[in-house]
A and B are shown apart, each in its own frame.
Chain A
Amino acid sequence: MIEFSNWDLLRNLLLAARWTVLLSLTAFIGGGLVGLLLTAMRLTRRRALHWFVRLYVEVFQGTPLLMQLFLVFFGLSLMGFDISAWAAAAIALTLFTSAFLTEIWRGCIDTLPKGQWEASRCLGLSFTQTLKNIILPQAIRVALAPTVGFSVQVIKGTALASIIGFVELTKAGTMLNNATFEPFKIFAMVALIYFLLCYPLSLVSQRLEKKFNGAR
């Protein structure tokens, strides 16, 4: 049997953690962009678009992320697309993230008083002018804390990509454990790395919440 020093283990886990970070960033940025699009669709007056967004959000919030991963990974290969575990994980996590961010942002926009829309309308501002000058500047302040807070869920969610064979932090931990049979040590290290990734984000989120809560 090959001997691994603690440093070997940690080094390999950290190398794999790069993929966790990359997958999280991809999902978060992709999900943010799709979420923005969905949020904009929801703000228009088109009923059909509202229904589409609602269905989208319900589907991705109402099913386990793992099933979404399976469906993308196996579903797309069944349809004849040759899809890597990385691509499947990135797509599934993007869809998942966009649904949650859309719902979070909807809540933030809904907390703004209806009078802000009415006053803008009475002053003759167009829909886009109202959105850009009145609604978004206020909604962003409210949305910042929960959005950063949700990024923690995305990072933890990437662990599920290990199940379809994508080698990120959790998968690397499993593989190292298979070689060393030291599960407690290895998964403690894995957990610690997740914690070090997530904790600063939680802190930032709490700070933002304090800063913007109640302030204008």
Chain B
Amino acid sequence: MALVNIDKVHKYYGDLHVLKGVDLKIQAGEVVSIIGRSGSGKSTLLRCMNGLEAYQEGAIILDNKEVSSDERQVRALARSVGMVFQSFNLFPHLTVGENVMLAPKLVLKQSAEDARKMALDKLTKVGLAEKFDQYPDKLSGGQQQRVAIARALAMSPKVLLCDEITSALDPELVGEVLKVLEELAAEGMTLVLVTHEMNFARDVGDRVVFMHQGKVWETGPSAEVFANPSTPELRSFINAVL
């Protein structure tokens, strides 16, 4: 069974029908980029995958657990799914190290020593071990986002969801964050990215999912989809952004 199974998922905001029967399977180790115009439902789909948003019809099975927005379910799911946000969402009153250690200590009940080791390990991975005792507001946007990635990784998730994680960054800082993602992909981490970084989607991603009008409009291996889009909607989208 695939790591993520999304089966005919419908999502409404009141009268607004945002997701109109989304089907998607993601295998362990895949790097999947979800692209599409704003309002196509790509961020909503991502947020449904870890229970941040409720969906009304269909099913999402992740790591053999059904996803729902029920509080306890969401918490159980946090061990399988990591999330990185566009706006970092670091805890500003905690140091970088404390940000990363918090959930392993509170949720996984790791000892202070183990949590510290884990945090240092993950921060080393994103190249920020020396910032352990700094507060987030002393860091650049790119560094903050890398800390956010380390914080998510500290829970040893099976899949990492990234919601436009470079969109709030100055252009010169995008590269350092993408580099971290590239390394994670090389290590075999399952990544699902909602992204506007088309070059990244094409060069690093295994597969591209093009969303349009609340549906998976077209999907396929990255190189193929970019070189040879089969629907006019994707063709015009690629022409517009590349």
Contact = CB atoms under 8 A, between A and B. Distances in A.
Interface of A: 45, 113, 115-116, 118-119, 121-127, 129, 133-134, 137-138, 141, 216
Nearest to B52: A118
Contact of A133 (B81, B102, B137): B102
Report the 9 A-B pairs with minimum CB-CB distance, sorted nearest first. A124-B78, A115-B89, A123-B103, A119-B89, A124-B107, A122-B83, A216-B92, A124-B75, A137-B93
A216 B136 CA distance: 9
A133 B85 contact: no
B91 A134 contact: yes
B71 A129 contact: no
A216 B93 contact: yes
Contacts of B52: 118, 121-122
B85 A119 contact: yes
A146 B48 CA distance: 38
A124 B93 contact: no
A contact patch SS: helix
A138 B92 contact: yes
B212 interface: no
B240 interface: no
A203 B91 CA distance: 30
B106 interface: yes
23 contacts: A115-B85, A118-B52, A119-B90, A121-B74, A121-B75, A122-B52, A122-B78, A122-B83, A123-B78, A123-B102, A123-B107, A124-B77, A124-B78, A125-B102, A125-B103, A125-B107, A126-B71, A127-B71, A134-B91, A138-B93, A141-B93, A216-B92, A216-B136
Contacts of B136: 216
Interface in B85-100: 85, 87-93
Contacts of B81: 122
B152 to A, nearest CB: 8
Q: Which among A116, A121, A129 has the highest number of chain B CB atoms within 10 Å?
A: A121
B186 to A, nearest CB: 24
A127 B70 CA distance: 12
Nearest to B50: A122
Contacts of A133: 102, 106
B217 interface: no
